[in-house]
Structure 1
């Protein structure tokens, strides 16, 4: 027999553990406190263990998984909320916060024993595995700010859905958008799968999975000292990405500050995701010289065609013996370079992906799951994509098939804080 979640705190105060017996999960609300000012107080799972050497701190000013050194594996999930009561959504977000803190410390959902007569509280596939530098980043999509939860007036102007951009005419709605997103990154694919699987499981009755994507082989360098990885075309891309040790660039381009029209987003960032399918077979048949012209880089060294090493300054004015620019005017490196875009930068955090064989073409279904963080999606991502979508030589070999935009609120301060706590303030009375 299943039991509905209670509408408020039990009369005797929050207990240390409280089970959501219908799903066999811990009803993890907000640690040692209440959801938004005491409207629905619930205890959560045991506090997470001390941070181990293979763990990324969960609590802090900003959510981990943004400027954190990029890990090797990704699972990204988008969900749609089915509940209509903001208290139920807040309870789920509290539950997620408690679970995420434990997962990032290498712990299961709870240390409480499972009774033989109920489903396991944790799905168990990470038993014996370390945290593997797991980070979990949660965001809110534009669709969450309709009239269901009274949040319409709290939608940031920067979260307004992006218009159809050049190169985006075949975006598939089935693998785009969502009320919520979860980005789980780690150095072990089973660890990221476990985190998303259990968070989606804990959302039952409140939200449902809309789509998800697995990623492998980071396609960006975000940590100080990380080498620039190669994409599935074999090129180094994103050489000039913002790194975690560049606090000035992070403040200028990534973290939302006092300029926001919504206080609850201060310290957060806006996530744009794009699923970009690569025409692998066609690319593999192209001449090396043409591949290098398209990117504007030497394939082997990663150096710009006007230099010898990857980080050499690009000479956009240099011309060859034929009198034409050595860096093609429509090359990827020229169109994307900050120097050619009034200094505009993004924090890229993408991953390669493969979904096997495309059922319609029989070709490899693979490419780049592009993720970027910024403080203003329009003046940053949209401005750059408009330029790239119109002229980039690379467009012959890529297709944008999925898209999404989410507002990722600031980090959680301590146990008892939860995703969107200040956003929901006033909605849970």
Structure 2
């Protein structure tokens, strides 16, 4: 069931005024309640006009990643240290307003990822600044912004039902799911990643501010992951259970492999050529139960050694899973119901994982930590890849004893943006 938007505000700003505004006028224009105050107020037209020139970048080079390109950044990009993920509900009823939002988001994203302030109204004492300012003086921190649309985008409101990809549907119910509406769904998504959490938060805050009057936040989740000081660029990050997460990922430098696993091609609608499909699952971990388990039980659950990340019986993290190997008693070395064995299957179905750990404080009902994994994967076909793997895991995975899926969403992530174009241009024209 579609979650009711948190706020609907149809007031639009009427442009940029050069006369001094009274307090009453200011409150009327910005909105003196709810999300408007939290995010700084403003609308698509008032905060940032599409094509508006941005301030000069604060930094460049290795700390800044290009926004424009054949594919969106934040997919094959090596995972940054922090994530701010946001799903939005559209409140607009006209496709023209959605197009205007995506154009404004494009202009803002180009500025945010280069370390620039958004817009050009940041020094007028009589107006709200066009950028909220908390990232002023910070470097881009390799910020990437990845945009997508959910199945609800094609529900008939905007006349785009015929353009919905066949693979883009809400995920089926899986065994053991305990999904909560406040962590599920969305018409639009933005994945903001950066090596500085304040930079990622700043991006989501300002995009939500720009969306006011057209879309409202549905849910958000912050995340983190670190690879360790010994090998900060090459090591596989560990999840909150202490095991390496993403060892079995395909090689993102292999273009042929990426076309096979990640990028949509001629099999989908033309507007998705060069895009991909995102699955998002909020997985709460039963940390307190896990912490009472023996190391041997933990390793049998994952099918891997905790310290090295290698398959049980091997020493190299990236050694191939030998699911036929048996001990002297004929017992499989790697349990067939271990997480690695089930996720691997016969090895022919792959996905690209890009997950982050999260911690949302304490559950006041149970007194336990509300912490876990925001699982994110990219694939060219949600049904053939993600759903087929998750059905095996949900049915038999030993890890199910220690986790519960509380949130779920899927999105079609657009192809990359050309300079002069905008996000979703192939779909919206």
TM-score category, normalised to shorter length: 0.7 to 0.9
In structure 1, the partner of 2:192 is 184
2:307 aligned with 1:300, yes or no?
A: yes
- 1:39 is matched with none
Superposition pairs for residues 110-121 of structure 1, below 5 Å? 110-121=119-130
Per-residue deviation, 1:113: 3.6
- RMSD after superposition: 2.3
Q: Which deviates the most, 296-305 or 279-288?
A: 296-305
Change (3 A) 1:45 1:86: farther
Q: Does 1:357 align with 2:362?
A: yes
Question: TM-score of the superposition, structure 1-length normalised?
Answer: 0.87
Give the 3-state SS of the residue equivalent to 1:274 in structure 2.
strand
Out of 375, 383, 391, the residue aligned to residue 380 of structure 2 is 375
1: CA distance, partners of 2:158 / 2:402:
42
Describe the SS at the equivalent of 1:61.
coil
Find 2:282's aligned residue among 269, 275, 279: 275
Aligned to 1:319: 326
1:231 aligns with 2:239: yes
Report the alpha carbon displacement of residue 115 of structure 1 after superposing the two structures with TM.
1.6
1:216 aligns with 2:224: yes
The structure that is helix-richer by fraction is 2
Q: For 1:260-271, what aligned pairs fall within 5 Å after superposition? A: 260=268, 262-271=269-278
Aligned partner of residue 158 in structure 1, secondary structure: coil
Aligned equivalents of 1:93, 1:398: Cα separation in 2: 36
Q: CA deviation at 1:320?
A: 1.6
Aligned residue among 346, 350, 361 for 1:345: 350
* Residue pair 1:224, 1:243 contacting (<8 A) in 2 also: no
Matches of 2:328 and 2:234 in 1, distance apart?
A: 36
> Which residue of the partner structure matches residue 196 of structure 1?
204
Q: Identify the match of residue 257 of structure 1 among 254, 262, 265.
A: 265
Question: What secondary structure sits across from 2:251 in the alignment?
Answer: coil
Deviation at 1:230, TM superposition (A): 0.9
Aligned length: 394
Using a 3 Å threshold, how does the CA distance of structure 1 residues 219 and 92 change in structure 2: closer, same or farther?
Answer: farther
Gaps of 5+ in 2: 1-9, 16-28, 31-40
| Map of 1:12 onto structure 2 | none
Following superposition, the deviation at residue 384 of structure 1 comes to: 0.3
How far off its partner does 1:28 sit? 3.3
1:419 is matched with 423
- Relative to 1, partners in 2 of residues 1:6 and 1:119: Cα closer, same or farther, differing over 3 Å? closer
What's the CA shift for 1:47?
A: 7.7
| DSSP-derived class of the 1:96 partner | helix
User: Structure 1 residues 24, 171: closer, same or farther in 2, change over 3 A?
Assistant: closer
| 1:76 equivalent in alignment to 2:85 | yes
Residues 108 and 243 of structure 1, relative CA distance in 2, 3 Å threshold: farther
Q: How far is the alpha carbon of 1:160 from its aligned partner?
A: 2.0
1:44 and 1:128, CA in 2 relative to 1: closer, same or farther beyond 3 A?
A: closer
Q: Hey, what's the Cα distance between the residues in 2 that align with 1:347 and 1:360? A: 35
Q: Given that residues 42 and 212 in structure 2 are in contact (C-alpha distance below 8 angstroms), is that contact kept between their aligned partners in structure 1?
A: no
Answer yes or no: is 1:288 the counterpart of 2:322.
no
> What is the CA–CA distance in structure 1 between the aligned matches of 2:175 and 2:255, rounded to whole Å?
32
Question: How many Å separate the matches in 1 of 2:209 and 2:122?
Answer: 18
Partner of 1:143: 152
1:423 aligns to what SS in structure 2?
helix
**Aligned counterparts of 1:407 and 1:224: Cα–Cα separation in 2:** 31
1:330 aligns with 2:334: no
Instruction: Tell me which of 400, 404, 415 is aligned to 1:410.
Output: 415
Q: Distance in 2 between matches of 1:196 and 1:53?
A: 22
CA distance in 1, matches of 2:349, 2:238: 23
Mapped contact 2:59–2:115 kept (Cα < 8 A): no
* Match of residue 73, structure 2, among 39, 64, 68: 64
Q: Deviations over 1:55-79 (max 9, x none)?
A: 1111000000000111000000000
* Alpha-carbon distance in 1 for matches of 2:11, 2:247: 53
* Cα deviation, residue 210, structure 1: 0.4
For 2:115 and 2:246, the matched residues in 1 are separated by: 31
**Which residue of structure 1 lines up, in the alignment, with residue 103 of structure 2?**
94
Structure 1 400/309 Cα, relative in aligned 2: closer, same or farther at 3 Å? same
Q: Pick which of 317-326 and 83-92 moved more.
A: 317-326
Tell me, in whole angstroms, the C-alpha distance in 2 between the residues paired with 1:218 and 1:244. 19
Cα separation, 2, equivalents of 1:3 and 1:297: 55
> Please, which moves more after superposition, 320-329 or 99-108?
320-329
Q: Does structure 2 conserve the Cα–Cα contact (< 8 Å) formed by 1:219 and 1:349?
A: no
CA distance in 1, matches of 2:261, 2:346: 13
Provide the residue aligned with 2:94 in structure 1: 85
